Structure 1
Amino acid sequence: MLTAAQVLAENNFGDTRTGGLAGPMGLFLILVLGTATVLLIRNMNARLRRLPDRFPEQGRPSETGRADAAVTDPTDGTGGPDSSSDAPTGRQQRRNG
């Protein structure tokens, strides 16, 4: 009859040589993910460098010279401002920004 020590000491993990592809495949995946990360970071840095330092403020069509930059009133002046929203008004945004 087997003792508890013999059962615990027995190697039930099989041949350790059959899983020889797991190490190289893991290294390959790590290298692919690392390369993809480096390329994505380089691409984002290039895109951020192309952005202007400052954007023109929206809502001031006289300074931008574009007619489509004007903000239209969705209520057509027939009602007061909607006070149910907690969003800041345009005047509060200019004051805080």
Structure 2
Amino acid sequence: MRMTALETAAYVLAQAPAPPNDPGGQGEDFGKSSPVGLVLLILFAVAVVFLIRSMTKHLRKVPVVFDEDKAAAAAPAKVKRAEAARETEAAEAEKGETKPDKDETP
């Protein structure tokens, strides 16, 4: 039985290609994790635990209700002095009394 050139070409083209040595990067180690991956996973879990503990400590310090009186009592002395100075200036402005500026000489 003799095949023509056309039949031979059709027969060659119809054959399935041979599978490659490494089909798509899925060798014998495909899907397996290494010990380094396990160590990294454990380190990330420990880091998350410490971050959660730190966050809960900081959130416990936040007041449930933001009361203005308590906030004013907890304000630093510098802020309290600045507020007192503003109140004094406002009271003097209402009375019509003004202090001379440092640049002005009497």
| TM bucket normalised to smaller | 0.3 to 0.5
User: What's the TM-score, normalizing by structure 2?
Assistant: 0.39
User: What's the TM-score, normalizing by structure 1?
Assistant: 0.42
| Higher-Rg member (1/2) | 2
Q: Which has the higher contact order (CA 8 A, sep 6+)?
A: 1
**Structure with the bigger percentage of helix:** 2
